Structure formats: structure tokens, C-alpha cells
Chains A and B, each alone.
Chain A
């Protein structure tokens, strides 16, 4: 089983729609979790950290479910500019490194 797994998509959604991505991780000792956004042929950029209590930043909501070992990202009122690949990142502190998922591609269509 991969350390971090994501549905590669693509998710094609109309403008204004709500879309959610999940990401599962295998190491129950994982300590910190992030969502990064990557535009085509660009570097990944931090979108948001994911906290145990869940967190919200405008139209974006991130949740962590430790029991089922997954994190989620919810995007409300999708904009064309949200089109990108969303990378799930898990930090298993014992390895002193972060592990990236392969990313989920989102395409918001007019």
C-alpha cells in the first residue's frame, strides 16, 4: 500500500459547484498534514495545513479523520482559477520528511 494515496481525477466540475477530495495515508503515526496546490508546470504552493479540529479558509475547508486515516479538502463555489492539481502531503515525523500524494487534478469548467 502506498504511504499516501489520492484519486488522480480529473474532476471536471462546473463553476459554482462544491467539490471534495480525499487522501488516505498508511502510517498511523503521521503527525502533520497539508494540502498543496500545483498549477501546470509550476512549483507546489501551500494551500493550507490540516488540523485535528478541522480548519477553514474562505471557500476551502480541510478535515482530518485519524480513525480512518484520511484527510479531505472541500472547495465551495468553485472558480475557474481553482483549476489545478491538489497534492496531499503527510509528514510522518519519525522519517523527518514529508510524503506527497500523486495529486488530484481539478478542472472547473464555465
Chain B
């Protein structure tokens, strides 16, 4: 499968615990995005990377959230001291952006987080 993959697919944790999610983008894609989606809403942008550089973070991304893409390939999203309001689907997407082209993003299957 050469699509975007995410691990784990489901995570149940207790409030206050730390969780880490992984995303493996399509191999040649240079841009990687993280989104959060709650029921009945569209995905909300959290952050994105161009290669290994984190170029933008949303106001939604509190200090408890941190994302990395150390080698410009896979990325991790960590949530520290989880809260019940963090329960959501966390989606990763990747795209290839040469200059002057239209950008389309391909999504992974998501990690569904439930904080008890």
C-alpha cells in the first residue's frame, strides 16, 4: 500500500496520560499536514511540515501538543496530559508541492482518540 498510513488506528486513554501518533506519508511527498476532526465538523488544520521544517501551527495547537518530522519522512504528533476535549479523529495528509502547481492532499485513515 503506497498511501498515507497512520498508527495506531484507535487509541483509548485516561485523562492526564500522554499519547503519540505516527504518520507515514506517501513516499515522495514533501508536505505533511495534521488535522483534527470532531463529529459533525470538517477537519481543522493543526500544523504542517515542508520536509522536516514545521512551517505553521494553528491556534488550536496548545502547548500540550507537539509535532515532529525529524528526517522529513514520517511524523509524530504527541499530546501531553490528555483532556476529554482532545477526543477526536486525528488525520494526517500529505502532498507534493512543486512551485506553481495546484496542491491536493491525500489523507491517511486517521487515528481515533478517546480520552476517558
Residues of A within 8 A of B (CB): 4, 8, 32, 34, 42-46, 49, 87, 91, 95-103
Contacts and interface: CB of A to CB of B under 8 A. Distances in A.
Contact of A96 (B43, B48, B107): B48
Interface residues of B, number: 21
A4 B44 CA distance: 12
Given A42-B109, A44-B91, A45-B107, 8 more contacts: A43-B107, A43-B110, A87-B43, A96-B48, A97-B56, A98-B103, A100-B44, A101-B42
A4 B102 CA distance: 19
Nearest to A99: B45
B102 A97 contact: no
Residue in B42, B107, B109 with the greatest tally of chain A CB atoms within 10 Å: B42
28 contacts: A8-B40, A32-B103, A42-B109, A43-B91, A43-B107, A43-B108, A43-B109, A43-B110, A44-B107, A45-B107, A49-B102, A87-B42, A87-B43, A95-B56, A96-B55, A96-B56, A97-B33, A98-B33, A98-B45, A98-B103, A98-B105, A100-B35, A100-B43, A100-B44, A101-B42, A102-B40, A102-B42, A103-B42
A46 B43 contact: no
Contacts of B43: 44, 87, 100
A interface: dominant SS: strand
A99 B42 CA distance: 9
Contact of B42 (A32, A34, A49, A100): A100
Interface string B38-80: 0011111100100000011000000000000000000000000
